[in-house]
């Protein structure tokens, strides 16, 4: 019987294990140094805020693994010998394999700041980070968060939920402007401030200052300002965890390099999830995409390739979602900060400053390129189909109601959005729109 070893029990490794079991009777061992059982990292903030207990974030009951003949080993691998098809753990335990799947996830970025390893400084990725944040934010007055991305804003919400003052250092002109167009970023920056976060834009960390006991006392910005605090969250992005690459013979760049079948440079070793870097990413996709659903898709693809159904990784159009305090955000296709010269840019914002839609479409072919939506839920499956087929902007605007996924009692803004669109682009003829049958979701 073939043996598969998987390093990492996150969404990518666990999905691979489940699908290998579905398609084969191979022996499967999943190794993780973080937690004994798979848990949902995306729910980390809800544990801290008291909305969920850790137990509730485990997608499977503890008995699931035994019942499905998947062995779990709680320990750290510290060496991969690809020549001997063996992994060796820090406690000396060895596992041999026919196939190895690397699903080692991400690590928080640290840029060599003075004081980055003091007590009370933490990233926010692992369960251990959650424990650290919990231990160092008990009844404190102020936390400083360094780095304005999706994890930073979650940490800000977590600390505010306990009435801790938050100073949020963001290098860019507005929150997340390296990703969001200016209007979107300005709206979210204003919303962050509404939640009483001291948002410092165009402000960078210089160093973290200690007290006499090696605890955080303050941060110093590059402008020389000293901000007293008792906790510092480092949330300036993540990078693939490739610690195990050394002496393994597996080719790496920023991540473990993988082809379209998610195979690394060693043919019986695969890389999935946050730790993988695609050599040739599909159009519109990045080589490294540290996202839950990409990890899940990759795990399934690797499992199929290992169990004998060769299949390439084809994730389809880009999609992502997040929450900025009270504003839900979804993005479909490509809406980069700067609008490409050959595209039109259309932005609608509701007077509340909590809802917006940002649309990009081609100037020549009028095909939809991407949509950001804030505070309005949209249907992922429809975008997936429409972006794949290259829907034209007229058809998209006509079908705005179809894509709206808000509950029945929510206000529908399709009419207003179309009206503004017609004012801005009078040369593009769109229909006045239809009324949505909210009960059946039909028109
Ligand atoms: C706070 C937070 C919120 C997020 N929210 C979202 C969201 O809303 N939507 C979204 O799409 N994505 C979100 N993400 C990203 C998403 O959670 C990750 O992309 C995804 O969990 C990565 O899964 P993975 O299986 O690749 O790796 P991970 O889940 O990181 O698992 C890797 C595992 O490998 C273990 N490991 C590593 N090295 C070794 C070793 N040598 N020996 C043993 N074990 C090892 C690690 O300890 C870890 O348990 C969020 C991430 C964070 C941190």
Q: Walk me through the domains of the chain, giving residue ranges and CATH numbers.
A: 3-107+239-306 (3.50.50.60), 121-236 (3.50.50.60), 319-424 (3.30.390.30)
Strands 99-102 and 269-271 come out as: parallel
Ligand 1 within 6 A of CB of 122: no
Ligand 1 within 6 A of CB of 30: no
**Rounded distance from Cα 432 to ligand 1 centre (Å):** 45
Mean pLDDT of the chain: 95
Q: What pLDDT is recorded for position 434? A: 55
CB 193 within 8 A of CB 107: no
Q: What pLDDT is recorded for position 430? A: 87
CA distance 37 to 361: 44
CA 157 from centroid of its chain's CA atoms? 17
CA distance 123 to 125: 6
Ligand 1 within 6 A of CB of 240: no
CA 3 from centroid of its chain's CA atoms? 31
pLDDT tens by residue, 126-169 = 999 999 999 999 999 999 999 989 999 999 999 999 999 999 99
CB 6 within 8 A of CB 28: yes
Average of pLDDT values for 67-86?
A: 97
pLDDT band at 412 (very low <50, low <70, confident <90, very high): confident
Q: What pLDDT is recorded for position 404? A: 84
CA distance 90 to 210: 32
Q: What pLDDT is recorded for position 443? A: 28
Q: What pLDDT is recorded for position 435? A: 52
Ligand 1 within 6 A of CB of 248: no
**Rounded distance from Cα 131 to ligand 1 centre (Å):** 16
pLDDT tens by residue, 291-306 = 999 999 999 999 999 9
Ligand 1 within 6 A of CB of 64: no
**Rounded distance from Cα 224 to ligand 1 centre (Å):** 35
Classify the C-alpha dihedral 158-161-164-167 as positive or negative: positive
CB 94 within 8 A of CB 86: yes
103 vs 14, 166, 268, CA distance in Å? 9, 34, 14
Nearest to 103 by CA among 273, 242, 305: 273
**Rounded distance from Cα 240 to ligand 1 centre (Å):** 10
Q: What pLDDT is recorded for position 431? A: 78
Pocket test for ligand 1, best of 31, 33, 45 (most atoms within 8 A of CB): 33
301 vs 20, 21, 124, 270, 314, CA distance in Å? 10, 13, 28, 10, 9
To 10 degrees, the CA torsion angle through 34, 36, 39, 43?
-50
Residue 224 has a CB neighbour count (10 Å cut-off) of 7
Identify the residue whose C-alpha is closest to ligand 1 atom 27.
Answer: 105
Beta bridge partners of 393: none
Both tokens assigned to 305 = 């390739």
Q: Pick the range with the lowest mean pLDDT from 91-105, 187-201, 402-416.
A: 402-416
Beta bridge partners of 332: 319, 371
Q: What pLDDT is recorded for position 181? A: 97
**Rounded distance from Cα 399 to ligand 1 centre (Å):** 37
Strands 356-362 and 368-374 come out as: antiparallel
Strands 121-122 and 106-108 come out as: unpaired
Non-local CB neighbours of 239 within 8 Å, separated by 6+ positions:
106, 107, 109, 254
Place of tokens 């890389």: 271
Average of pLDDT values for 20-34?
A: 98
pLDDT band at 403 (very low <50, low <70, confident <90, very high): confident
To 10 degrees, the CA torsion angle through 159, 146, 372, 357?
70
Average of pLDDT values for 204-208?
A: 98
CA distance 360 to 345: 5
Ligand 1 within 6 A of CB of 34: yes
Q: What pLDDT is recorded for position 129? A: 97
Identify the residue whose C-alpha is closest to ligand 1 atom 51.
Answer: 42
Ligand 1 within 6 A of CB of 167: no
Average of pLDDT values for 77-101?
A: 97
Please say if the pLDDT value at position 375 is more than 50.
Answer: yes
């Amino acid at each position: 019987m073939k043996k598969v070893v998987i390093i990492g029990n996150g969404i990518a490794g666990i999905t691979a294990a489940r699908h290998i079991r579905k398609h084969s009777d191979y022996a499967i061992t999943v190794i993780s140094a973080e937690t004994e059982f798979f848990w949902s990292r995306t729910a980390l903030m809800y544990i801290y805020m008291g909305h969920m207990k850790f137990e509730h974030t485990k997608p499977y009951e503890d008995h699931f693994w035994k019942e499905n003949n998947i062995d779990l080993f709680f320990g750290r691998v510290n060496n991969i010998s690809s020549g001997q098809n063996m992994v060796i753990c820090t406690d000396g335990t060895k596992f041999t394999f026919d196939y190895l799947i690397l699903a080692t996830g991400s690590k928080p970025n640290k840029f060599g700041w003075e004081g980055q390893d003091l007590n009370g400084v933490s990233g926010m990725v692992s369960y251990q980070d959650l424990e650290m944040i919990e231990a160092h934010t008990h009844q404190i007055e102020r936390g400083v968060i360094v780095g304005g991305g999706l994890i930073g804003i979650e940490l800000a919400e977590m600390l505010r939920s306990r009435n801790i003052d938050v100073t949020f250092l963001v290098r860019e002109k507005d929150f997340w402007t390296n990703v969001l167009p200016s209007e979107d970023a300005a709206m979210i920056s204003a919303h962050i401030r509404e939640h009483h976060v001291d948002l410092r834009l165009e402000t960078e960390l210089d160093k973290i200052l200690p007290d006499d006991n090696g605890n955080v006392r303050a941060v110093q910005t590059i402008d020389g300002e000293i901000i007293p605090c008792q906790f510092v969250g480092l949330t300036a992005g993540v990078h693939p965890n490739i610690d195990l690459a050394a002496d393994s013979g597996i080719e790496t760049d920023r991540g473990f390099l993988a082809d379209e079948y998610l195979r690394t440079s060693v043919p019986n070793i695969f890389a999935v999830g946050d730790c993988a870097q695609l050599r040739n990413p599909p159009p519109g996709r990045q080589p490294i995409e540290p996202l839950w659903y990409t990890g899940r898709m990759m795990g399934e693809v690797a499992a199929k390739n290992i169990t004998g159904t060769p299949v390439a990784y084809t994730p389809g159009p880009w999609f992502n979602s997040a929450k900025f305090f009270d504003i839900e955000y979804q993005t479909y296709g490509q809406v980069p900060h700067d609008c490409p010269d050959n595209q039109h840019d259309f932005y609608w914002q509701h007077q509340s400053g909590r809802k917006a839609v940002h649309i990009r479409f081609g100037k020549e072919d009028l095909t939809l390129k991407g949509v950001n939506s804030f505070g309005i839920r949209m249907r992922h499956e429809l975008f997936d189909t429409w972006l794949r087929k290259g829907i034209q902007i007229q058809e998209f605007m006509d079908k705005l109601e179809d894509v709206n996924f808000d509950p029945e009692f929510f206000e529908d803004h399709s009419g207003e959005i179309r009206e503004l669109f017609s004012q801005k682009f009078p040369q593009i003829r769109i229909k006045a729109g239809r009324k949505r049958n909210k009960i059946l979701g039909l028109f």
